């Protein structure tokens, strides 16, 4: 499948987890991928497997100005991209009444401010290329209220709102802007809490219509679709990719009783 042949794609948070899966899937679809994140060895590990002359541009998205600086680095290295996957993110948890302003500043910078400024910095060149596709990684935490995740879910709500506003602003210039709201995807971000609670994986799977947790490839496939011409009339959308966890009603019974028939 080379639906993205000759396309240039930037993936933030490409060093592991969902972003790694996205980088691999975009490369397999024919795109040349620019990988960014802080963990240089991991970025190079992923890039070593890619076939379309990948580029590694390390960046920390926490400091002020980081999104703008990364956009400038991408423009000077490549001239611009057709696809931007704004995937980098971090999570913090704990009782809302214990939230520290410094932690809020950090998560807003990484999950929202830098990603918006990166899009702002790259959009003019994208327009000059005739348009493109921006895919923002949100979360089901933006559509439901998760316990102990006020700052994280607020940044994801901001991602959803920014997606719709940028779609309105840049649609006339040929840029489509969409978001994906993953459910529980097994990555480093979720592994610690899953392994600390025996039986949690089975419990969550039982509350999911498709009876399993997600894998990075489940999200990456939707990214490739949104990046491709197949999604050419789709913009301003937030697409939940969660095996049906949010949109269906979980069974009341125990996990064992919730096993799929047959
Ligand atoms: N896993 C889930 O269940 C789930 C569910 C809903 C939404 N999401 C969202 O999906 C995205 C990817 O999550 P994941 O599960 O793949 O998480 P992950 O395995 O923890 O990976 C996070 C990625 O973000 C990058 N990142 C974190 N802080 C950064 C910083 N300061 N500067 C630059 N890059 C930074 C990391 O790269 P470096 O460490 O190399 O910097 C890493 O590549 C996030 O936006 C997350 O909120 C995940």
Q: Is 15 a pocket residue for ligand 1 (Cβ < 6 Å)? A: yes
| pLDDT confidence of residue 252 | 80
- Is residue 248 included in any domain, yes or no? no
Instruction: Give me the active site residues, please.
Output: 152
- Is residue 85 included in any domain, yes or no? yes
Q: Is 139 a pocket residue for ligand 1 (Cβ < 6 Å)? A: yes
- pLDDT tens, position by position, 217-245: 999 999 999 999 999 999 999 999 999 99
Longest alpha-carbon distance in the chain: 57
- Is residue 61 included in any domain, yes or no? yes
Cα 190 to ligand 1 centroid, rounded to whole Å: 10
- Is residue 223 included in any domain, yes or no? yes
- Is residue 2 included in any domain, yes or no? no
Residue to mutate (ligand 1; options 36, 59, 90; most atoms within 8 A of CB): 90
Separation CA 77–CA 60 (nearest Å)? 17
Q: Are 59 and 66 in contact (CB under 8 A)?
A: yes
Q: Which residue segment(s) compose the domain that 227 sits in?
A: 8-243+253-258
Cα 109 to ligand 1 centroid, rounded to whole Å: 13
Cα 118 to ligand 1 centroid, rounded to whole Å: 16
Cα 14 to ligand 1 centroid, rounded to whole Å: 8
Q: Domain count of the chain?
A: 1
Separation CA 26–CA 35 (nearest Å)? 11
> Which of 61, 45, 50, 41 lies closest to 23, judged by CA?
50
Ligand 1 nearest-atom number relative to CA 186? 1
Residue to mutate (ligand 1; options 10, 17, 46; most atoms within 8 A of CB): 17
pLDDT at 257 over 90: no
- pLDDT tens, position by position, 1-14: 699 999 999 999 99
Q: Are 21 and 46 in contact (CB under 8 A)?
A: no
Grouping H, G, I as helix, E, B as strand and the rest as coil, residue 254 is: coil
> Which of 178, 182, 181, 231 lies closest to 4, judged by CA?
231
Q: Are 191 and 214 in contact (CB under 8 A)?
A: no
- Is residue 50 included in any domain, yes or no? yes
**% pLDDT > 90, the chain:** 94
Q: Is 18 a pocket residue for ligand 1 (Cβ < 6 Å)? A: yes
- pLDDT tens, position by position, 24-60: 999 999 999 999 999 999 999 999 999 999 999 999 9
Structural tokens at position 160: 């959803």
Query: 119: domain CATH number?
Result: 3.40.50.720
- Is residue 226 included in any domain, yes or no? yes
- Is residue 1 included in any domain, yes or no? no
Please indicate, yes or no, whether the overall pTM of this predicted structure exceeds 0.85: yes
The 10 Å CB-count burial string (b at 16+, else e) for 232-255 is eeebebbbbbbbebeeeeeeeeeb
């Amino acid at each position: 499948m080379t639906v993205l042949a000759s396309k240039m794609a930037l993936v933030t948070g490409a060093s592991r987890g969902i972003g790694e899966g996205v980088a691999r899937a975009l490369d397999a679809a024919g795109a040349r991928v620019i990988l960014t994140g802080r963990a240089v060895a991991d970025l190079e590990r992923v890039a070593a497997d890619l076939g379309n002359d990948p580029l590694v541009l390390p960046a920390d998205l926490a400091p002020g100005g980081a999104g703008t600086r990364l956009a400038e680095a991408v423009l000077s290295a490549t001239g611009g991209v057709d696809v931007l996957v704004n995937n980098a993110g971090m999570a913090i948890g704990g009782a809302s009444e214990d939230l520290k302003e410094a932690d809020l500043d950090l998560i807003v910078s990484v999950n929202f401010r830098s990603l918006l400024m990166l899009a702002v910095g790259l959009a003019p060149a994208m327009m000059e290329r005739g348009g493109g596709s921006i895919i923002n990684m949100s979360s089901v935490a933006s559509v439901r209220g998760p316990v102990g995740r006020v700052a994280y879910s607020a940044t994801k709500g901001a991602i959803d709102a920014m997606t719709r506003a940028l779609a309105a602003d840049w649609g006339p210039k040929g840029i489509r802007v969409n978001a994906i709201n993953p459910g529980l995807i097994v990555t480093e971000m979720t592994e610690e809490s899953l392994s600390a609670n025996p039986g949690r994986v089975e419990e969550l799977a039982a509350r999911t219509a498709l009876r399993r947790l997600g894998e990075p490839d489940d999200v990456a496939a939707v990214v490739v679709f949104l990046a491709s011409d197949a999604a050419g009339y789709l913009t301003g959308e937030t697409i939940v990719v969660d095996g049906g966890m949010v949109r269906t009603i979980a069974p009341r019974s125990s996990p064992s009783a919730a096993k799929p028939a047959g």
